[in-house]
Amino acid sequence: MHRDDRAAPWFLRHATSADARAMATMHIRAWRAAYRGLVPDAHLNSLDLETRAARYRLDPAGPSDPEVWLAVTEAEGVVIGFVMTGPCRDDDLPEAGEVWSIYVDPERWRGGVGTALMADAVARLERAGYLRAVLWVLTGNERARRFYEASGWRPDGATKTVSIGGQPTGETRYWRDLRGGISAGRTDRHNRR
């Protein structure tokens, strides 16, 4: 019997250091699918599981550390997405919260996982008392920009250039007002069929 993995039930839960390798596996898959043509292929092909896993701070020790939530399949416990939030890292917005990163397994794109992760992230930032949230996106990543805009985010005019794989790459900052009140983030079970 054929089963559509995009329809498999999943839930959100807090990440721990034990999740680093599973997160890194999914993160690398997402980077390779989303950034092909935007960053050098050599860089994407060289992404290393152990190096990526070691970069995560999954057991926050202080208020400036990010909070990480995972989307995990119910039956297999496979990480299919994550979102990382915390205080804004930009000097010009010390009072804002930030979505540091959000990634979904490419096989789960357009299946509701990213939407649920983003709604949960916005709700967490709002509950933390932030009045505004920001995120950065590769300027050429049209898929992500459409997703953010559909989720209520807008470019705020700030841009920067970062180096990825030795290539200068533009990023655009998006913002979202959190004062309007949103529905609380969900950590229960999801099934997007």
pLDDT tops 60 at residue 4: no
pLDDT tens digits, 126-174: 989 999 999 999 999 999 999 999 999 999 999 999 989 888 999 999 9
Q: What is the pLDDT of residue 90?
A: 92
User: DSSP E strands: which ranges in 16-148?
Assistant: 67-73, 79-87, 97-104, 132-138
Q: What is the pLDDT of residue 63?
A: 65
Query: What is the distance between the alpha carbons of residues 33 and 81, in angstroms, rounded to a whole number?
Result: 14
Pairing, β 167-177 against β 132-138: antiparallel
Q: When comparing pLDDT for 126 and 68, which is higher?
A: 126
Task: Classify each residue of 116-150 as buried b or exposed e, where b means 16 or more C-beta atoms within 10 Å of its C-beta.
Answer: bbbbbbbbbbbeeebebbbbbbbbebeebbebbee
Backbone angles phi, psi at 19, to 5 degrees: -90, -5
pLDDT tops 90 at residue 193: no
Written in H, E and C, the secondary structure of 107-145 is HHCCCCHHHHHHHHHHHHHHHCCCCEEEEEEECCCHHHH
* Range in 2-16, 74-88, 104-118, 164-178 with the lowest mean pLDDT: 2-16
Neighbours of 164 (CB within 10 A): 16
pLDDT tops 50 at residue 60: yes
Q: What is the pLDDT of residue 6?
A: 57
Q: What is the pLDDT of residue 62?
A: 64
pLDDT tops 70 at residue 182: no
- Which is nearest to 128 in space by CA: 139, 120, 136, 118? 120
pLDDT band per the 50, 70, 90 thresholds, residue 44 = confident
Q: What is the pLDDT of residue 67?
A: 75
Q: pTM of the full predicted structure?
A: 0.83
How far, CA to CA in Å, does 132 sit from each of 98, 113, 114, 175?
8, 23, 20, 7
- Percent of the chain at pLDDT > 70 equals 87
Domain boundaries, the chain: 5-131
What is the signed CA dihedral for 174, 180, 184, 185, rounded to 10 degrees? -10
Would you say 161 and 170 are in contact if contact means Cβ atoms under 8 Å apart? yes
CATH of 5-131, one of 3.40.50.720, 3.40.630.30, 2.60.40.420, 3.30.1390.20: 3.40.630.30
Query: Mean pLDDT, the chain, as a whole number?
Result: 82
pLDDT tops 80 at residue 108: no
Q: What is the pLDDT of residue 183?
A: 38
Q: What is the pLDDT of residue 174?
A: 96
Query: What is the distance between the alpha carbons of residues 89 and 93, in angstroms, rounded to a whole number?
Result: 8
DSSP secondary structure code for residue 152 in this structure: T
